[in-house]
A and B are shown apart, each in its own frame.
Chain A
């Protein structure tokens, strides 16, 4: 047991050091990621300003699916946070590539578990990322504090943190499972592109999902809520803004946790099935 923990610790440390090589790139990259928010601030400002008096709610303030202007901007900022947890750039493509070029063999002959190793690598990556990104994030959130309705109560805050951690786990195991498809199809990049497309739309990264729910005809609107993608970006943000509350909140967290478990098993299962199929050609 001790040896195992030591191995994991060593892997984590190596990954941490590896990640700290490109600090400058991180800073710049993170700050720039907020640039589109600036256009969103102005675009939504113009949208809300253009809404007619009829669309305004009882207190005279225009709202879209219950979001006022401040909520909308806060929503975008919060999805940035949840995506910082759930996005796994290059994970699925990396696994598929390792399967294709045969690099995956090293995990079969070494006493290192592929999924565990990748997981630690991501944890290290994210730890470094938050360590560096917290400054630009804090800065932007401080500048934009006026858009937020204020801190939510402690239990909501707790649920928010849990949903972020779940978002990380879900993002990891979902993408890893997708990468395992590489055992069956050697070229998965197009499939991943479709996934990215759906993810962008259905995770709530582009707009609050309620907007889609309200405008789409019935069968489609339910699908929006049924796919697990909403837990990658929309759900944590909605929790923080208290758009889901009470029993719905805990129910949502439970479903999110359920999806995490589902994809942990799916990932393990596809991996073991894939390894059985796998034949390592090439050197």
Chain B
């Protein structure tokens, strides 16, 4: 039987199931929602506090010369950046993080067998099984922040093309982070324990949360290159946020082009790693 599984319908069932599961324990759901809201608000608080003391963030000058006139981010541009970062991270958290976490648990306990025998792509099944509905309010915070900051940016209102590109690059960004998540989760096939891997995910992605220009100086530039071209997490937020906050700067156009390449490469690599991981999987206990 070579009938193609109905991916759309299966996904829709996952979405519905997760919501039903979450609603079975409403108090727990409310608390989770509030705490995820709390974390987001705390982050916003931190940046608000920073901008009490300065009105723009500028990379450290090199030999007293500001190399790049487009480098500074003012308060509103920065908040557009933060809102974008929140949107992307929330999507990743909502759809993929719990699943990646469960994936390593499935490997450890041997329950991955059940997923392997299902007549559907294993990566699809593993990555989308649960939807974390409690992350939803973070979108609200991101939306409010965006609604506050975007009209105050000089280049407001953005053209339709910019908005379309923005949405496109958000999808690209999510795909890059998804690839990273899957690669790290798949590593637990070889490592058994994955506590450090999750911390690692968190620590790596902290680099993506700020404008890439802040990484300057002799060390910073290497960090910037490493996280742009090798592990492309700086692309994730920087490209869409820049489109909206500081559009029409031709010297950054290469980044947008490279972004597509980086996304495709990340997806391909993560798919490859995932399949290698499955090949090395030897079940457990039973």
Contact of A190 among B31, B196, B199 (CB under 8 A): B31
Q: How far is the CB of A18 from chain B (nearest CB, A)?
A: 16
A39 to B196, CA, bound (A): 19
Inter-subunit contact A46/B60 (CB<8 Å): yes
Closest to A51 in B: B54
Inter-subunit contact A25/B193 (CB<8 Å): yes
Inter-subunit contact A50/B203 (CB<8 Å): no
Residues 11-54 (chain A) with a chain B CB within 8 angstroms:
25, 28-29, 32-33, 35-36, 38-39, 42-43, 45-52
Q: Is A193 an interface residue (CB 8 A)?
A: yes
Contact of A35 among B35, B42, B203 (CB under 8 A): B203
Inter-subunit contact A32/B200 (CB<8 Å): yes
Which chain A residues border B32 with CB–CB below 8 Å? 190
Which chain A residues border B193 with CB–CB below 8 Å? 25
B-binding segment of A80-88, A130-138, A207-215, A238-246: A207-215
Residues 190-249 (chain A) with a chain B CB within 8 angstroms:
190, 193-194, 197, 200-201, 206-207, 211-212, 214-215
A34 to B119, CA, bound (A): 44
A50 to B61, CA, bound (A): 10
Inter-subunit contact A43/B57 (CB<8 Å): yes
Inter-subunit contact A42/B196 (CB<8 Å): no
Q: Is A64 an interface residue (CB 8 A)?
A: yes
Q: Is A112 an interface residue (CB 8 A)?
A: no
Query: Given A51-B53, A51-B54, is A36 in contact with B60 using a C-beta cutoff of 8 Å?
Result: no
Which chain A residues border B35 with CB–CB below 8 Å? 190, 193-194, 197
Which chain A residues border B204 with CB–CB below 8 Å? 35
Q: Is A55 an interface residue (CB 8 A)?
A: yes
Residues 205-220 (chain B) with a chain A CB within 8 angstroms:
206-207, 209-211, 213-217, 220
Residues 177-231 (chain B) with a chain A CB within 8 angstroms:
193, 195-196, 199-200, 203-204, 206-207, 209-211, 213-217, 220, 223
Inter-subunit contact B42/A45 (CB<8 Å): no
Which chain B residues border A33 with CB–CB below 8 Å? 199, 203
Inter-subunit contact B210/A211 (CB<8 Å): no
Residue picked from B39, B55, B57, B223, most chain A C-beta under 10 Å: B57
Which chain B residues border A28 with CB–CB below 8 Å? 196
Which chain B residues border A46 with CB–CB below 8 Å? 57-60, 210-211, 213-214
Which chain A residues border B31 with CB–CB below 8 Å? 190, 193
Q: How far is the CB of A14 from chain B (nearest CB, A)?
A: 22
Q: How far is the CB of B193 from chain A (nearest CB, A)?
A: 7
Which chain A residues border B54 with CB–CB below 8 Å? 47-48, 50-52, 55
A28 to B72, CA, bound (A): 35
Which chain B residues border A45 with CB–CB below 8 Å? 59-60, 214, 217
Contact of B203 among A32, A42, A47, A212 (CB under 8 A): A32
Residue picked from A25, A33, A52, A193, most chain B C-beta under 10 Å: A193
Closest to A216 in B: B49
Inter-subunit contact A39/B61 (CB<8 Å): no
Inter-subunit contact A194/B38 (CB<8 Å): yes
- Interface SS of A by simple majority: helix
A149 to B114, CA, bound (A): 59
A33 to B31, CA, bound (A): 28
Contact of B57 among A47, A197, A206, A214 (CB under 8 A): A47
A166 to B220, CA, bound (A): 37
Inter-subunit contact A39/B60 (CB<8 Å): no
Query: Given A201-B45, A207-B46, is A50 in contact with B206 using a C-beta cutoff of 8 Å?
Result: no
Which chain A residues border B60 with CB–CB below 8 Å? 45-46, 49
Which chain B residues border A207 with CB–CB below 8 Å? 46, 49-50
Inter-subunit contact A197/B53 (CB<8 Å): no
Inter-subunit contact B42/A200 (CB<8 Å): yes
A25 to B45, CA, bound (A): 33
Which chain B residues border A64 with CB–CB below 8 Å? 53
Which chain A residues border B207 with CB–CB below 8 Å? 35, 38-39
Contact of A29 among B53, B199, B206, B211 (CB under 8 A): B199
Which chain B residues border A214 with CB–CB below 8 Å? 52
Which chain B residues border A43 with CB–CB below 8 Å? 57, 210, 214
Q: How far is the CB of B52 from chain A (nearest CB, A)?
A: 5
Closest to A200 in B: B42
Q: How far is the CB of B188 from chain A (nearest CB, A)?
A: 13
5 contacts between A and B (CB under 8 A): A42-B210, A43-B214, A197-B38, A197-B39, A215-B49
B: which residues have CB within 8 A of A?
A: 28, 31-32, 35, 38-39, 42, 45-46, 49-50, 52-61, 72, 193, 195-196, 199-200, 203-204, 206-207, 209-211, 213-217, 220, 223
A: which residues have CB within 8 A of B?
A: 25, 28-29, 32-33, 35-36, 38-39, 42-43, 45-52, 55, 64, 190, 193-194, 197, 200-201, 206-207, 211-212, 214-215
Beyond A32-B203, A207-B50, 19 additional contacts (C-beta under 8 Å) are A25-B193, A25-B195, A35-B204, A36-B203, A39-B210, A42-B215, A45-B59, A45-B60, A46-B58, A46-B211, A50-B72, A52-B54, A52-B55, A64-B53, A190-B31, A193-B31, A194-B35, A194-B38, A197-B38
